[in-house]
Amino acid sequence: MSRIHPTEKFSPGDSHPPSTPSLFTLWKRSTMNFQGTDGFTVFDHRGKLAFRVENYARNRCFAAAGGLLLMDGSGKPLLTVKPKALSMKNQWNGYRGELDCSKNATPSRLFTMRRPSSSLIHTSACEAEIHIDESKQTAPPDFKIEGSFGRRNCKITRGTTGEVVAKISRKTVNATLVLSNDVFTLTVQPCMEPELVMAFVIILDRICIKPFSPLLCS
């Protein structure tokens, strides 16, 4: 198979210019080779493995409930995302690190992401909305995801200003070759944490496809 990661070049020694958007190629495929796994393999602009998402149960209590763990390229846990039980809006919660269900303390929630009510009846161009402060869920969302994730053509914007902080787009190899939806591009502006945006993408993939909501995404 030909290379699927970006080929943009930067000066030797630079991990990434601080004022330059981060460019990633996402492959809807697990790094694990055994049958029954799925997830994401994510490359940075140099073709280095940046993130991994696997569906195997490193922590059985949240994996059994549909939770997923975002790791860096070396396997270090970064973020955990879990669906809220019996949520009609396909609500998911995000947490820093890997959840430890052996502890009785309630983990600190980083964000809540859900599909807006209007999208459930196909009257909205908004795929999802994100609230960083769960106590303000009746207020405008901190971020919105607009467009069509199913077509790999959407953007993440700030809910109050409309500023575009990240984009998801089809992956092109040249002027005539566009790869399948299993391989696509994520561009993240310097103002955003790439791992946080990756968590949003993981949830989008779950609320827009089987087995969660096969008919709800445009």
pLDDT of residue 111: 95
Amino acid at 79: L
Per-residue pLDDT, 9? 41
111-120, long-range: CB < 8 A, 24+ apart: 111/142, 111/196, 111/199, 112/137, 113/200, 113/203, 114/87, 114/89, 114/90, 115/89, 115/90, 115/207, 115/213, 115/216, 116/89, 117/89, 119/216, 120/88, 120/89, 120/216
Average pLDDT over residues 163-178: 86
Q: Are 80 and 68 in contact (CB under 8 A)?
A: yes
Complete domains list, the chain, with CATH: 22-208 (2.40.160.200)
96 φ/ψ angles, rounded to the nearest 5 degrees: -70, 140
**pLDDT at residue 7 greater than cutoff 70:** no
Q: Phi/psi of residue 119, each to 5°?
A: -70, -20
Cis before 194? omega within 30:
no
- Residue 109 pLDDT exceeds 60: yes
Distances (CA, A) of 126 to 106, 147, 185, 190: 31, 6, 20, 23
- Contact between residue 135 and residue 153 where contact means Cβ atoms under 8 Å apart: no
Residue 199 has pLDDT above 90, yes or no: yes
Within 13 Å, how many C-alpha atoms sit on residue 214's CB side?
Answer: 2
Q: Encoding tokens for residue 76?
A: 């270090």
Q: What is the pLDDT of residue 70?
A: 94
- Rounded to two decimals, the pTM is 0.80
Q: What is the pLDDT of residues 47-81, one digit of tens each?
A: 999 999 976 544 444 444 568 899 999 999 999 99
